[in-house]
Structure 1
Amino acid sequence: MLIVPFFISLGLTPLIKKYSVIAKTYAKENERTIHHGKISRIGGVAIYVSFIISMALFVKADMAVNGMILGGSLMFFAGLIDDLIDMKPLVKLAFEVCAAFILVAFGVGVDVLRLPFGITIDSIALSIVFTIIWIVGITNAVNLIDGLDGLCGGMSVVIFVVIGCIAIVERRMDITIITFLLAASTFGFLVYNAHPASIFMGDCGSLFLGFMISAISLLGFKSSTIVTLALPMLLLMLPIIDTLSAILRRTLKGRKFLEADKSHIHHLLMKQFGHRNTVIIMCGITTLFGFSAFVYMLNEMFGLLAIMIILLAVEIFIEKSAMISEHFHPILGICRRVLNRIKLIAKIIKEHKEKKSAK
């Protein structure tokens, strides 16, 4: 079953590359880009078409799945328009909100919000708002990491596989099949998108994948709540952290938060580790977050410990790389103050001992 979307995507991608030569749908070079030459930026067409064909062949869609496909299709075509004529950010945001409303209209969303300490919020209005924020946030988070060859596709494959495996544990074979079909469709495209890439997925690919990840997490964990949603959030932790850091960084600099820059996590890693290694590192970290999700399902204490260790490592990297600001270092600042306090206490004890021995 999985070889069908893989080979459809694998066969379609070269055809899209040839079409791009005729249609002149190339990725534009600017101060933020790292590629050179004429490279197609509509490779997401291969991912979308191979997935839709595979869904028609292997999945009997219900109302929720139809809503997911309809919303995902809207995001795909919105991204394709953006790839062709460069849509304004606010217009793109409007499409994302519309896609989220479609998903809600088809019955996909969080029904009840169960917060820590036994707090339960059973409000249709708040559930809809939370669902829309979730869809828009995750879609943009995935879109933002599409900055290196194979990065967005590679991380998406990892996320789909892990969510699919979690769905197996939860006995949701419908979610498993959908996520694996998406992973296979994306993997076929990755053959050409791996560094050095000969084609990019473009917004039609990244927006589609981002929407599908956010929608599937709601579809797969519908009875879910803040705590349950933390599991798929773990898989998306890097793009979520990257998005929040970008908003904070641009706000501190007095820039629009939708304004692009070259200070994302993958840009900073690439300066030190190179292109290919950065993609491997980020996919590896995503895999670790996925592993911690499984550990959490087996043992909450060890799972939380693993999560905190990974998050601490990411936070230290953000502070040392000045990703947000040169003055933003809360964790390192605390560590320095504690270390200085220990040194001061050690110095006082040493002086006290010296005075005592002198007597």
Structure 2
Amino acid sequence: MIDLQWILLAFMGSLILTPLVKKYSVLAKAYAKENERTVHHGLISRIGGVAIYLSFIVVASLFIEVDSTINGVILGGSIMFFAGLVDDLIDLKPRMKLFLELIAAIVAIYFGVRVDIIRLPFGITIDIGIFSVLFTLIWIIGITNAVNLIDGLDGLAGGLCVIVLIIIGSMAIIERRLDIMSLAFILASSILGFLVYNCHPASIFMGDCGSLFLGFMVSTISIMGFKSSTIMTLALPVLILMVPIIDTLSAILRRTLKGQRFMQADKSHLHHLLMRQFGHRNTVIILCGVTSLFGVSAFVYMINRTIGFFVMLAILFGVELFIEKSSMISNHYHPILSVSHWIQAQGIRLKNKRKK
């Protein structure tokens, strides 16, 4: 089992390093820029991911017994961290960021982080063969950018990643995967130390160096878990990461329908819509709560697949209703509500006919 000293050391490391990073930001002028999309005011450091990265790397190098796969994860994660740090300091072009994400993903795949077999619910197994590399690339780059996109409120990306990593680490205990458990818990602890300063109102942001690093690490650690497992299926990592996945897919559809580029930012993300109604802090709590519910449903699925499947459907149904009612994708996107309205209309017609 994991030594609690590791967790405490990772937490204390980022807790101590974060104020030092804030002081360095003054010299480097690494502050978050204010624009029409931001929700912060004043000069706030945007390289807080440095504290998370350093704390994780130091503790992991001291206590984790590495193999080829873990080396690939850490090396790829380091590439992603430094790419994000450069972007925080000098603003990289989107294409260059995507290229560096591709390089980091290829490094991880080269060292053995890949999905060869997809296990779907109810015992369905698919050997993806030659599409293994492509699928893994899409997964890693997709989740990396999903975490980056949802990093829009104080403590949101960090809070979601902590929950996801704790869920993955807990599942790894059931699967007796010490490597995954150690990576997940040490990284979660490193984030928690940073969150002390990043919770609303934040005095420091993680920046792209933090969100891209965390997105990459979460994506690779999650697929390590179900690669060789007979219990874990593709549905579980997808389910655990459902909030950033839904937000990203909605953004793609929304911008495509509006004729915008995917990389063109807006204020119609899931957290923006919730914040208008519930406020900053409550929105973060709600989204972390929803992620926790998805995580609980994943555990339920591991115990009883039938019950777990229907729990998943119920949560997804609720999320879909929110998306439609909030017009998150488009004012014209409401398939479930349209069916509901049609059924109500048919009921009214039948009542009118009976009265006649």
Q: TM-score of the superposition, structure 1-length normalised?
A: 0.95
Provide structure 1 residue ranges, at least 5 long, that are not aligned to the other structure. Answer: 352-359
Change (3 A) 1:109 1:308: same
Q: 2:245 aligns with which of 231, 240, 245?
A: 240
Rounded to whole Å, the distance in 2 between the matches of 1:111 and 1:250 is 32
Q: 1:121 aligns with which of 123, 127, 132?
A: 127
1:154-303 equivalent positions in 2, closer than 5 A: 154-223=159-228, 228-303=233-308
Ranges of 4+ aligned residues in structure 1 off by more than 4 Å? 114-119, 224-227
Rounded to whole Å, the distance in 1 between the matches of 2:84 and 2:254 is 26
One-letter identity of the residue aligned with 1:298: I
1:1-359 equivalent positions in 2, closer than 5 A: 1=5, 2-113=7-118, 118=124, 120-123=126-129, 125-223=130-228, 228-351=233-356
Rounded to whole Å, the distance in 2 between the matches of 1:112 and 1:245 is 27
One-letter identity of the residue aligned with 1:121: D
Change (3 A) 1:24 1:225: farther
**Residues 216-244 of structure 1, C-alpha deviation per residue, up to 9 Å, x if partnerless?**
01212212699712101111101101101
Report if the CA contact (8 A) 1:113-1:127 is conserved.
no
Change (3 A) 1:227 1:188: closer
Aligned-residue Cα RMSD (Å) equals: 1.5
Rounded to whole Å, the distance in 2 between the matches of 1:262 and 1:88 is 21
Q: Which deviates the most, 55-64 or 104-113?
A: 104-113
One-letter identity of the residue aligned with 1:13: T
One-letter identity of the residue aligned with 1:214: S
Report if the CA contact (8 A) 2:46-2:204 is conserved.
yes
Report if the CA contact (8 A) 1:68-1:215 is conserved.
yes
Report if the CA contact (8 A) 2:155-2:284 is conserved.
yes
Change (3 A) 1:161 1:115: closer
Rounded to whole Å, the distance in 2 between the matches of 1:347 and 1:176 is 62
Rounded to whole Å, the distance in 2 between the matches of 1:90 and 1:102 is 19
**Residues 171-206 of structure 1, C-alpha deviation per residue, up to 9 Å, x if partnerless?**
112211110000000000000000000000000000
**Residues 104-155 of structure 1, C-alpha deviation per residue, up to 9 Å, x if partnerless?**
11011112245678563352x3000000000000101111110000000000
Rounded to whole Å, the distance in 2 between the matches of 1:134 and 1:76 is 18
Could you say which structure has the larger radius of gyration? 1
Report if the CA contact (8 A) 1:115-1:226 is conserved.
no
Q: Which deviates the most, 145-154 or 294-303?
A: 294-303
Rounded to whole Å, the distance in 2 between the matches of 1:69 and 1:328 is 41
| Structure 2 partner of 1:356 | none
One-letter identity of the residue aligned with 1:302: I
Secondary structure of residue in 2 paired with 1:221:
helix
| Structure 2 partner of 1:354 | none
Change (3 A) 1:317 1:226: farther
Provide structure 2 residue ranges, at least 5 long, that are not aligned to the other structure. Answer: none
Change (3 A) 1:224 1:137: farther
Of all paired residues, the percent bearing the same amino acid is 63
One-letter identity of the residue aligned with 1:279: V
Rounded to whole Å, the distance in 1 between the matches of 2:120 and 2:237 is 17
User: Offset of 1:98 from its aligned partner?
Assistant: 0.7
Q: Which deviates the most, 292-301 or 188-197?
A: 292-301
Number of residue pairs aligned between Structure 1 and Structure 2: 350
One-letter identity of the residue aligned with 1:300: R
Report if the CA contact (8 A) 1:296-1:303 is conserved.
yes
One-letter identity of the residue aligned with 1:178: L
Secondary structure of residue in 2 paired with 1:120:
strand
Rounded to whole Å, the distance in 2 between the matches of 1:233 and 1:166 is 14
One-letter identity of the residue aligned with 1:295: V
Report if the CA contact (8 A) 1:104-1:128 is conserved.
yes
Change (3 A) 1:226 1:296: closer
